[in-house]
Amino acid sequence: MTSVQAQAAQLTESGQWQEAIALLSEQNRLHPDVVQEKQLIDWRVQGFQHTAHPSPNTVWPPVFASDSSNAFSLANGIPEITATQLNANTLGAAVQQHGSLLVRNLVPKNMLDALRDNIEQAVNTRNQRAAGEVIDSNNPYYSPSQYLNTHHKLGVGRKFIAETGGVWAADSPRGLFSVMELYRQLQLKKILADYFGEAPCVSVKKWVLRRVDPIAGEADWHQDGAFMGREVRSMNLWIALSDCGGDSANPGIDIVPRRFEDIVQTGTDGARFDWTVGPAYVEKNFSNTPWQRPAFKAGDALFFDHMNLHRTAWSPAITGRRYAIECWFFAAGASAENQIPMLL
């Protein structure tokens, strides 16, 4: 253990989790090390559990500047801005009024290749391990936390994500650290703190590195609030690392471009699950705001919360593969406890 690692560990013992994470993160920027990256994941989980979080702001949803909507254009009902226009007011005005916000060129182009490669390595290593290959327990791209495995009920979540072409970010030490560096560069922590009115957090189960192949047929729609709970305070950041959606051969995401205040009817009109919304239900009930399939360039991103109605895109013309990062942020005082919150 280096002197910096020892100093960081001492900070955790005195309850200074954020300070410890900041110190070890700086050390890892200078000297990348999978052992440090794994420790950071465990500390983010443990730190959230051992940190007192104030009761959430009683005023919700928040009120945003009246001129915020002037910052974005409405492309087929979906608000759209550039990365330099992103702040809590534009985010809040778009999501609270229209259900989502599309941000062009959010990810710097010089980071795209490395982020895609991290996902490729993580998924391939996970698949090799599942096939019975012996994988180093300190593989930087796929190395599930023993702390999480022994101290938390993970259920079938990891298996479900694997079946849909993804890996939990918390299972990929190098992948998670790289994405966290992106969020740091984008100053997301401050933007989301301003939006929630309190500290934001992330979670184990709702932070996924995705490598998605075409699905077999038309998907159901869903609102994440149907299984996370309506009362959480959330914001999802869905980042396209490939050109996708629109007329692309790579699967994007379909969106109903409107604000929903309640969970819509599930389990009917041909829905496959009791928590999903049948395609026929959407066609019948939301014809005044027809669903959209936005076109994404690599680096574009879509923000939406747990009330948004969306699905993975499908058509016979979709034959390619899409890389993406999906991360749900929560207000620390109103998070989804069953998703295993982590310090941001």
Which pTM value belongs to this model?
A: 0.95
pLDDT the model gives residue 26:
97
Say if 46 falls within a structural domain: no
Token pair belonging to 278: 């049948």
CATH code of the domain in which 294 resides? 2.60.120.620
Confirm whether 44 is domain-assigned.
Answer: no
Q: Which of 60, 89, 83, 322 is nearest to 215 (CA)?
A: 322
Residue 12 is assigned to a structural domain of this protein: no
| Under 8 Å between Cβ of 98 and 74 | yes
In a domain, 10, yes or no: no
Is 34 part of any domain?
A: no
Domain of 307? 57-343
**Residues of the chain predicted below pLDDT 70:** 65-70, 75
Residue 337 in domain:
yes
What's the pLDDT score for residue 92?
A: 93
| Residue 25 resides in a domain | no
3 in any annotated domain? no
Distance CA 242, CA 297 (A): 6
In whole angstroms, what separates CA 162 from the centre of its chain? 16
Q: What is the pLDDT of residue 67?
A: 58
- Write down the pLDDT at residue 289: 93
- Integer Cα distance of 210 and 170 in angstroms: 13
The count of structural domains within the chain is 1
What was the pLDDT predicted at 66? 53
Give me 4's structure tokens. 């910096």
Helices (H) and strands (E) in the chain, counts: 11, 14
- What is the pLDDT at residue 115? 98
**pLDDT reported for residue 61:** 83
